[in-house]
Amino acid sequence: MSGNKEIKNLKAFSTAAERFEGSHVLCPGCAHSIIVREILNATNDNMVVSASTGCLEVCTAIYPHTSWDTSWIHIGFENSSTAIAGAEAMNKALRNKGRIPADEPEPKFVAFGGDGATYDIGFQWISGCFERGHNMMYVCLDNEVYANTGGQRSSSTPIGASATTSPAGSTSYGEKRNKKDMLQIMAAHGAPYVAQVAPNKWKDMAKKIQKGFDAEGPVYINAMSACTTEWKFDPADTITVSDLATDSLVFPLYEIIDGTELNITYRPKNIVAVRDYLAAQPRFKHLFTPKYEYLIDEWQKRVDAQWEYLQRREEARV
């Protein structure tokens, strides 16, 4: 059986065959494993998976153990995209030459990277892969920080967050720059499909992953991955914090098809305040002081403006 896997409910999910084994050493409450598992469970097809150096890699492939019951490769920090592109090119070559029989179903090629590997050090490699149009899916596990090495800032770290290389202090509110907008950048590459997903909205996510698998060409998925260790919330609260992220619209869930057709895929019934999302994470606790309260107001305005922009884009179809 090949193609998309039909998943009706969470129970079906929990009993679906797993190619990502439960045995790994990711932190309790880490969203990475939820996301990876959902992606690997979205298809019945064979998969070649790559991971950049980072939490996912160091926690799932510690010799002599592996958590991967599928073809898997890690090369370096910056090149999980190009590693999978190389494998995809080899697949094409071997099929053209008849060394892989034509009736053997096409496998899926999926690269994982953290936001450090995606927004920062691996940006060029991803851009190259998308420009060349490899048939692959790149998934950014976006926890807005270099979590594997103890919480240094990346260009995904949002303004006001305290990270070890942009710490909040008596003269600083922490990170000074706004988060880079990767989704728009990847859409601008002419990708047939890009989408933002979150583990708390698992049906939305499964649908988008399957849409991505059905697309021809490079697909970019930005997956919000709430980080219990660096966002400093209780490990039991991963989904609660994820709900706050999507319901406050800090992480709006949407997709862009062929660079133009933007669809908002989740509209919260009750939009919660950005303040509530920030308050759930001690990485922002210094903002809740008279000196820095204005940053929370600014953030709310940015989120409102972004939401307005997305709705207008959705309507305008440009």
Contact call for residues 42 and 206 (beta carbons, < 8 A): yes
Please say which residue, 96 or 184, places its beta carbon nearer to another protein: 96
Other C-beta atoms lying within 10 Å of the C-beta of residue 318: 9
Nearer to another protein, 127 or 152 (CB): 127
Nearer to another protein, 75 or 272 (CB): 75
Residue 218 DSSP symbol: -
Cα(41)–Cα(57) distance, integer angstroms: 19
Q: Which is nearer to another protein, 69 or 308 (CB)?
A: 69
Chain residues binding another protein by CB under 8 A are 19, 46, 48, 50, 57-58, 61-64, 66, 68-76, 78-79, 82-87, 89-94, 96-97, 99-100, 107, 124-125, 127-128, 131-132
- Shortest Å, Cβ 255 to another protein: 26
CB–CB of 34/85 below 8 Å?
no
Q: Which is nearer to another protein, 42 or 48 (CB)?
A: 48
Tell me the CA distances in angstroms from 292 to 107, 151, 160, 233, one per residue in order. 50, 22, 9, 21
- Minimum CB separation of residue 52 from another protein in Å reads 10
55-90: b or e for each residue (b if 16 or more CB lie within 10 Å)?
bbbbbbbeeeeebbebebbbeebbbbbbbbbbbbee
Complex with another protein: residue 4 or 127, whichever CB lies closer: 127
Min dist CB 237 to another protein, Å, is 29
**Direct distance between the N- and C-terminal alpha carbons of the chain, in angstroms, rounded to an integer:** 38
Task: Give the nearest distance from C-beta 93 to another protein in angstroms.
Answer: 4
Q: In whole angstroms, what is the distance from residue 118 CA to residue 132 CA?
A: 17
Q: How far is the CB of 111 from another protein (least distance, A)?
A: 9
- In the complex, least distance from residue 76 CB atom to another protein, rounded to whole angstroms: 6
